[in-house]
Structure 1
Amino acid sequence: MATEIERKFLVTGTQWRAQVTATRTICQAYLARAEHASVRVRVIDGRDARLTIKSARTQISREEFEYPVPLSDARAMLSLREGGLVEKVRHLVPAGGGRTWEIDVFAGAHEGLVLAEIELEHAEERFERPAWLGREVTGERCYGNAALALAGKVDAA
């Protein structure tokens, strides 16, 4: 079991694009959502698949369990989803101090939404905030992937 501690921000501008070190295409869906946890399946670059169980968020941390699954199983699970697919391209950008920004550029129903996340060792860890980093949305449920799967268009402002 791992504990995920992350902060999430809207992205303003495109200066981050020059710093991208890797890119992945992600298609994910939520199979179940309950008060205490959610279950999602994710297909990455059409070649890799993972099943993830996450506890409900308490502030900026939560428990996370992630397992590889056969790609054919994951594709079948996508049809069992609650709500819509969440489609995005994830760009990795060095954040300094050994950290990485994960910048998600959403497609499909959430075209135009761009979010940046950074995973931390502890909740009070300090990190550099680049100029392209906009308003913090950590803890705002409407910007969580599970909420995006069930919602219509989310305001990117």
Structure 2
Amino acid sequence: MRFEIERKFLVAHEGWRADVVGQRLLRDGLVGHFAGGKVRVRIAEGRGWLTVKGERKGLARAEFEYEIPGADAEAMLTEVCEPCLIEKTRHCVPHAGVNWEVDVYGGALSGMVLAEIELRDEGQAVERPDWLGTEVTHDPRFRQSTMLRLSREAGRNITLAEVLAARF
């Protein structure tokens, strides 16, 4: 069993763009939620994955990921997943010996930009790049499902200010 240990941040400015070493387009669909976890299908570069993520405990949560045929993933996005899909371009940005992932959202979340880092362990020290903003790892407003719900309720793309103003 693999554990995903990650932290998520707002992005303060576009300085990260100068250091991008790769990018890929991701499309995610939510199959369902359960007891603090979720099941997701993802397509990237024509390949599909089915991922089950358990409830977060601190920064970590169990993650089970299985490659599936791209055609099956496409069918699941249209036939099984909740109607709003996540579309984002994930940029790989190395900094101080670690790889940051900066996600620039499209579709219903167009305009949102968040950075993530996967850690070896919860105590791993990380040098923060100057373009990194506020940490939102434990902020429920920045869960993709929450941002999609806010967008659906608004009937349009939502802004960062609207996400920050959301109450839970």
Which band: TM-score by shorter chain? over 0.9
* Matched pairs, number: 155
Question: In structure 2, how many angstroms separate the alpha carbons of the residues matched to 1:12 and 1:36?
Answer: 29
Per the alignment, residue 37 of structure 1 pairs with: 37
Q: Deviations over 1:98-142 (max 9, x none)?
A: x21000000111111100000111112111111110010011122
Range that drifts further, 69-78 or 29-38:
29-38
TM-score (norm 2): 0.86
Contact 1:30 / 1:149 at 8 angstroms: preserved in 2? no
1:155 aligned residue: 160
1:17 maps to 17
**In structure 1, what is the Cα distance between the partners aligned to 2:147 and 2:48?**
20
Contact 1:29 1:149 in 2 (8 A): no
* CA shift for structure 1 position 81: 1.1
Contact 2:53 2:63 survives alignment (8 Å):
yes
Partner residue in 1 for 2:86? 86
Tell me how far apart the structure 2 counterparts of residues 136 and 50 of structure 1 sit (CA, whole Å).
27
Gap regions ≥5 residues in structure 2? 152-157
The reply to whether residue 131 of structure 1 matches residue 136 of structure 2 is: no
Structure 1 counterpart of 2:61: 62
Sequence identity, in percent?
43
The aligned counterpart of 1:72 is 71
More deviation in 74-83 or 142-151? Answer: 142-151
Q: How many angstroms apart in 2 are the aligned matches of 1:119 and 1:133?
A: 15
**TM-score, normalisation: structure 1:** 0.92
> How far did 1:88 drift?
0.3
The one-letter code matched in structure 1 to 2:114 is: L
1:130 and 1:5 mapped to 2: Cα distance? 19
